[in-house]
């Protein structure tokens, strides 16, 4: 047992230095050399000031903006320091109540909004920070935003189409639209 103690302690220390200090430090240096923007958090800069990250969603509730996925973070939605989902089970009445509240809010902001509602627009994301919505969910909101901003719907449709990303490499994931980028572009329309 004692003869095992010295190698155990020494090897543990050596491998800790290698994998816990040298490795992350080397990756950080390489990341900054090759992918500085990504390594620093994919910040979205408008003018000269960062308005957020392309990868981290923000809360939108004003009728003149595209709304993103509902976020279950607390205390406020899209709290980037407390990522997580609602963890509500499918049969939990709290889930149905929350979804009903979101459908009502969408239809209060635009009484002509039809049913059914795109699912991603009324269900909470896994991270609470989902930056994207589906193209369907974006188009669903065009009527409301056009009315709030007094812009023709065609211009918004064109904007949505321009911001739609297909499946990555045509193979992976789902088609999506980055809500923050879309809303920044929306503000730039005028």
Partner 1 sequence: MTPHAWTLLALFLALLLALVGPLGRYIADVMEGKSPVLRFGGAVERVVYRTCGVRSETEMGWLSYALAVLLFNGLGALAVFGLQRLQQWLPLNPQAMANVSPDSAFNTAVSFVTNTNWQGYSGESTLSYLTQMLGLTVQNFLSAATGIVVVIALIRGFARHTARSIGNAWVDLTRVTLYVLLPLSVLFSLFLVSQGAIQNFEGYKAVTTLEVTKYDNPKVDATGQPVKDDKGNPVTDPASTQTQTLPMGPVASQEAIKMLGTNGGGFFNANSAHPYENPTPLANFVQMLSIFIIPGALCLAFGRMVGDARQGWAVLAAMTLMFVVMAVFAMHFEQQANPLLSHLGVDPAAGNMEGKETRFGIADSGLFATITTLASCGAVNAMHDSFMPLGGLVPLWNMMLGEVVFGGVGSGLYGMLVFAIMAVFVAGLMIGRTPEYLGKKIEAYEMKMVSIAILVTPLLALAGTAAAVRMADGIAGIANPGAHGFTEILYAFTSSANNNGSAFAGLSANTPFYNVATAIAMWFGRFGVIVPVLALAGSLAAKKRLAPTGGTMPTHGPLFIVLLIGTVLLVGALNYVPALALGPVVEHLMLFAAH
Q: Rule CB under 8 A: which of 22-41 touch partner 1?
A: 23-24, 26-28, 30-32, 34-35, 38-41
Q: Is 168 in the site for partner 1 (CB under 8 A)?
A: yes
Q: Which is nearer to partner 1, 119 or 154 (CB)?
A: 119
Q: Which is nearer to partner 1, 20 or 152 (CB)?
A: 20
80 SS3 class: coil
Q: Which is nearer to partner 1, 91 or 111 (CB)?
A: 91
Quick check: 79 and 88 in contact, CB under 8 A?
A: no
Q: Is 56 in the site for partner 1 (CB under 8 A)?
A: yes
C-alpha span between 109 and 185 (Å, rounded): 21
Q: Is 148 in the site for partner 1 (CB under 8 A)?
A: no
Q: Which is nearer to partner 1, 128 or 141 (CB)?
A: 128
Encoded one letter per residue, x for contact with partner 1 by CB under 8 A and - for no contact, window 79-118 reads xxxxxxxxxxxxxxx-xx--xx--x-----------xxxx
DSSP state of 143: H
Quick check: 179 and 134 in contact, CB under 8 A?
A: no
Angle between helices 153-163 and 179-187 (to 10 degrees): 140
Q: Is 129 in the site for partner 1 (CB under 8 A)?
A: yes
Q: Is 58 in the site for partner 1 (CB under 8 A)?
A: yes
Q: Which is nearer to partner 1, 81 or 150 (CB)?
A: 81
**Minimum distance, C-beta of residue 29 to partner 1, in the bound complex (Å):** 9
C-alpha span between 176 and 158 (Å, rounded): 15
C-alpha span between 130 and 56 (Å, rounded): 6
C-alpha span between 93 and 111 (Å, rounded): 26
């Amino acid at each position: 047992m004692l003869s095992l103690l010295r190698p155990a302690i020494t090897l543990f220390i050596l491998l800790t230095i290698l994998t816990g200090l040298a490795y992350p430090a080397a990756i950080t240096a390489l990341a900054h050399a090759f992918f500085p923007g990504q390594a620093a958090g994919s910040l979205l800069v408008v003018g000269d000031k960062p308005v957020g990250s392309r990868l981290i969603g923000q809360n939108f509730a004003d009728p003149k903006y595209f709304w993103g996925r509902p976020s279950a973070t607390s205390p406020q939605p899209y709290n980037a320091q407390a990522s997580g989902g609602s963890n509500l089970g499918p049969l939990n009445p709290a889930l149905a109540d929350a979804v009903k509240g979101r459908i009502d809010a969408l239809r209060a902001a635009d009484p002509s909004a039809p049913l059914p509602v795109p699912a991603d627009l009324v269900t909470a994301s896994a991270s609470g920070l989902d930056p994207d919505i589906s193209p369907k969910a974006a188009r669903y909101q065009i009527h409301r935003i056009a009315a709030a901003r007094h812009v023709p719907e065609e211009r918004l449709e064109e904007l949505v189409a321009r911001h739609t990303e297909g499946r990555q490499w045509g193979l992976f994931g789902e088609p999506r639209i980055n809500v923050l980028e879309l809303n920044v572009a929306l503000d730039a329309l005028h």
